[in-house]
Structure 1
Amino acid sequence: MASATPKTQPLHDLTERLAHVRWMTGGTASGKSTLTRLLADRHDVTVYSSDRAEHAWLERCTPHRHPHFTALRALPPGGMWHGRSGEEVFRTMPSLHGETVGFLVEDLLALPAERPVLVDYFGILPHHLAPLVRAHTQAVFLLPTPEFRRATLTSRYADTTRRRATWGSEDLTTALTKRLIRDALWDEEVRTQSASASAPQSFLTLTIDGTLPAPALADRLAAHFGLGSAP
């Protein structure tokens, strides 16, 4: 497993230097990006999208420290899904093994700290995030219901170009089934770690089913994050 934090960074100093960071994380297709945009429109925050940053991480990873991440570099679009089950894809996720956390830390430390930074990313688990925060109110884990996720992903990948970029030539029904299995296993891991008696932080975990309007949920998260009143 890769080290979750840079080797030369003392833990106390790290939490202090990242005290301005807020984490919008959890499961896929849970509305993280929508809520991040709403908060960014209402509050003076810097948005950090880790999904976009992952492409640069691929160039920075090494076989010794990031074996699962390095294995993705040679794959064509959709290659990680071909010939494997949803369970197999889950077990080889770089984020499951903590391989992406160091990249997150390096990127966040390089950003200006004059105003809050809001991280929009699903690929970090409670046990990996806990050493990076000073207070549990710096993070929220959003976990969608199976029905909400299926509807969201079905709509998202109705776009042929986007579907091929993610899954290559994989049949939509087959790929979606694998994706839903992988994502459900990730959600289960998040819940297990959040409920663990040994969890160093008790993070807020919210179930997303679409019944609460996004603006109302954004208001709740702004209060949770301590972002103050909207202008």
Structure 2
Amino acid sequence: MHPAAARLRHVYWLGGGSGAGKSTISRRLADRYGMRCYATDDVMADHAARLSPADAPHLSAFAAMDMDERWVHRSPRQMLDTFHWYHGEGFDQIVADLLRLPTDRPVLAEGFRLLPDLVAPLLADRAHAVWLLPTTRFRRAVFASRGGTGWGFIARTGDPGRALRNLVDRDGMFTERLAAQVRPLGLTAFAVDTPTAEDDLLERVATAYGLTGR
């Protein structure tokens, strides 16, 4: 167990694949149970700016690429295997942020950067961690709702169609990797598909955390 586990026993962790609904579920849980939200996506830019090339070689290599090198010209497997956050670069900064937060109420940390093998040693209570694993169908529906090839950085590439396919495939492999990590660690994960109602998923996560009835 990590030396910081006892100091983080008030933290609940919600990880998972991109587009699984982590932000929405975490906000609703925080509102219902009086928790403080910590969104790892919100601090990515700050963490990236403070990481040196020696501490984050994959991030350094990614930053040196143009948009097409990042999202069009590489295979989804290459994208998966070299993506900095998937290697845990910057995870120590997440832990440091959480240790600086007040302990007057529970904290709900959420984001895809919360990798099971990195979170597990920090758990004083293993029920405090859940991962949401979106199916391919669900991910495609999410990207379509965001605008498909006209969405965000995808639209800034030379081939948005290929970039989107690469991203969806990469995220699918990342979700499979999460599932493969969660099972042997004895941690909790829920599949998220298009028929999954948000209210039902909220209740499942709250129950897994042991929050229901409070």
> TM exceeds 0.5?
yes
Per-residue deviation at 1:28? 1.0
Contact 2:154–2:164 (CA<8 Å) still a contact in 1?
no
Distance in 2 (alpha carbons) for counterparts of 1:96 and 1:207: 20
Per-residue deviation at 1:77? 5.7
Per-residue deviation at 1:150? 0.5
Change (3 A) 1:164 1:148: closer
Aligned residue-pair number: 214
Q: Report the equivalent of 1:182.
A: 170
User: What secondary structure, in the 3-state scheme, does the structure 2 residue paired with 1:189 have?
Assistant: helix
Cα deviation per residue 1:103-157 (whole Å; 9 max; x = unaligned)? 1101111111111111120123211111111122111111111111101112113
Q: Report the equivalent of 1:92.
A: 82
User: What secondary structure, in the 3-state scheme, does the structure 2 residue paired with 1:72 have?
Assistant: helix
Q: Which runs of 5+ in 2 are unaligned?
A: none
Q: TM-score, normalised by structure 2?
A: 0.90
Contact 1:58–1:73 (CA<8 Å) still a contact in 2?
no
Q: TM-score, normalised by structure 1?
A: 0.84
CA RMSD of aligned residues (A): 2.1
Change (3 A) 1:159 1:150: closer
Q: Does 1:148 align with 2:145?
A: no
Contact 2:149–2:160 (CA<8 Å) still a contact in 1?
no
Q: After the TM superposition, which residues 28-43 of structure 1 pair with which residues of structure 2 at under 5 Å, given as runs?
A: 28-43=18-33
Q: Report the equivalent of 2:5.
A: 15
Distance in 1 (alpha carbons) for counterparts of 2:149 and 2:167: 16
Change (3 A) 1:136 1:143: same
Q: Does 1:103 align with 2:87?
A: no
Per-residue deviation at 1:216? 2.4
Aligned to 2:38, which of 48, 63, 67?
Answer: 48
Distance in 2 (alpha carbons) for counterparts of 1:15 and 1:167: 42
Cα deviation per residue 1:64-100 (whole Å; 9 max; x = unaligned)? 1211123333455676214212111101111332213
Distance in 2 (alpha carbons) for counterparts of 1:72 and 1:56: 16
Amino acid at match of 1:24: L
Contact 2:80–2:170 (CA<8 Å) still a contact in 1?
yes
Aligned to 2:55, which of 51, 65, 83?
Answer: 65
Q: Does 1:219 align with 2:203?
A: yes
Change (3 A) 1:75 1:229: farther
Change (3 A) 1:135 1:164: same
Amino acid at match of 1:143: L
Q: Which runs of 5+ in 1 are unaligned?
A: 1-9
Identical aligned residues as a percent? 34
User: What secondary structure, in the 3-state scheme, does the structure 2 residue paired with 1:23 have?
Assistant: strand
User: What secondary structure, in the 3-state scheme, does the structure 2 residue paired with 1:142 have?
Assistant: strand
Amino acid at match of 1:105: V
Amino acid at match of 2:176: E
Amino acid at match of 1:119: A
Distance in 1 (alpha carbons) for counterparts of 2:173 and 2:164: 14
Q: After the TM superposition, which residues 73-92 of structure 1 pair with which residues of structure 2 at under 5 Å, given as runs?
A: 73-75=63-65, 80-92=70-82
